[in-house]
Structure 1
């Protein structure tokens, strides 16, 4: 999927102001989840993963008590403790992200890194599509590429059934970042349901935010705009990167 910055999305912008404007002044904003249970989404992630031939991981906070439905799931369950130093959320251009990654990933080429980013973006969008069809919304969730180059969808659990999405983001970032630092993952991604600023009558549009970060904690963010049909089928616009 090629990422290009264009100033219009036919079904969203209709030739109006270019995309960089919608990411200012506190945007994007995180979607408030009303219709989705956290365990239900995790079980959905398990089903999607099995259907696609992936073995999902569930990272459990060391202080959380796992529920019986999750105990009996096919997730690889991994307990994590306090995360290493916080991820640097500095926004950078995607080509700079790749150059920085090359410096610390001696066995990788630019093409390999781009392929991994593409795999993660595809994984996030595939899972988000299923969640949107099911509930019209989703809690933040993850995917990672392991050291053996296998892709693994990743969930996180910390004991709450209806958490705030920002709380999920914090725990998921800790879990994914811990996996990178301890050598389990080469690179990881998070999918977040957000609103981005727009010139349509409501002043905003829905999008999947894809956060990708590496061993230095550097983050690059992509946005996949979407709108839902009456049957919750997402129609996607043109993906773009935040700082391009």
Structure 2
């Protein structure tokens, strides 16, 4: 498959979408299930959610469901890039101001990273309590590709 490259700006657009949606879900519910974003061949970012028919699914099952869809879309050339977001604990070997993080697996041709966005969730307000999200400084970890560039000579 001959892939077109996604621009850094397009990859950032997917990351920004994931950060904004995660913030919204954390403020509303205090947590979120895995979700993602795709980048079409035309350069448009689209939101992607997963549903396996269960009211309270196991998050790893939703993650695997979305990963399968992203792998299929990447190998068929339908997606120029993908972003798969999950609510994780920051691995202890990374010095992070907060133990919780939004982890976004961003991948495109010749690019595969976990972007960790550490966060703290607090409750504010005296009479009307609401959740507030504070993001720490994001950091990237290079990873082996899962969706693009794997040996696929078929």
Please classify the TM superposition score into its range, dividing by the shorter chain length.
0.7 to 0.9
| Secondary structure class of the residue paired with 1:149 | coil
Report how far residue 215 of structure 1 moved: 5.0
> Equivalents in 1 of 2:142, 2:75: separation in Å?
26
Match of 2:105 among 184, 204, 211: 211
Shift of 1:181: 2.0
The question of whether the paired residues in 2 share the 8 Å contact of 1:222 and 1:241 is answered with yes
1:126 equivalent to 2:5? Answer no
Deviation, structure 1 residue 123:
0.5
Give unmatched runs, 5+ long, in structure 2: 124-129, 144-154
Aligned alpha-carbon RMSD (Å): 2.3
Aligned: 1:224 with 2:117: yes
More helix by share: 1
| Aligned twin of 1:176 | 70
TM-score (norm 2): 0.77
The number of residue pairs the alignment matches comes to 132
Shift, 1:162, TM fit: 1.1
Separation in structure 2 between the aligned mates of residue 179 and residue 104 of structure 1, nearest angstrom: 12
Distance 2:138 2:23 in 1: 14
Contact 1:181 1:215 in 2 (8 A): no
Q: Output one character per residue of 1:143-194: Cα deviation in whole Å (capped at 9) or x when no partner.
A: 0111111110111222222111111111110012212222221100011001
How far apart, CA to CA, are the structure 1 residues paired with 2:77 and 2:141? 28
Quote the Cα distance in structure 2 between the aligned partners of 1:160 and 1:175: 18
After TM superposition, the score normalised by the length of structure 1 is 0.50
Gap change, CA 1:181 and 1:226, over 3 Å in 2: same
Structure with the greater alpha carbon radius of gyration: 1
Q: For 1:1-244, list aligned pairs within 5 A.
A: 104-105=3-4, 108=5, 113-197=7-91, 205-215=99-109, 219-230=112-123, 231-243=130-142
Give the secondary-structure state (helix, strand or coil) at the position aligned to 1:238.
Answer: coil
Q: Which has the higher contact order (CA 8 A, sep 6+)?
A: 1
CA contact (8 A) 2:112 2:142 kept: no
State the Cα deviation string for residues 80-114 of structure 1 (Å, max 9, x = none): xxxxxxxxxxxxxxxxxxxxxxx942xx4xxx521
Name stretches of at least 5 consecutive residues in structure 1 with no aligned partner. 1-102
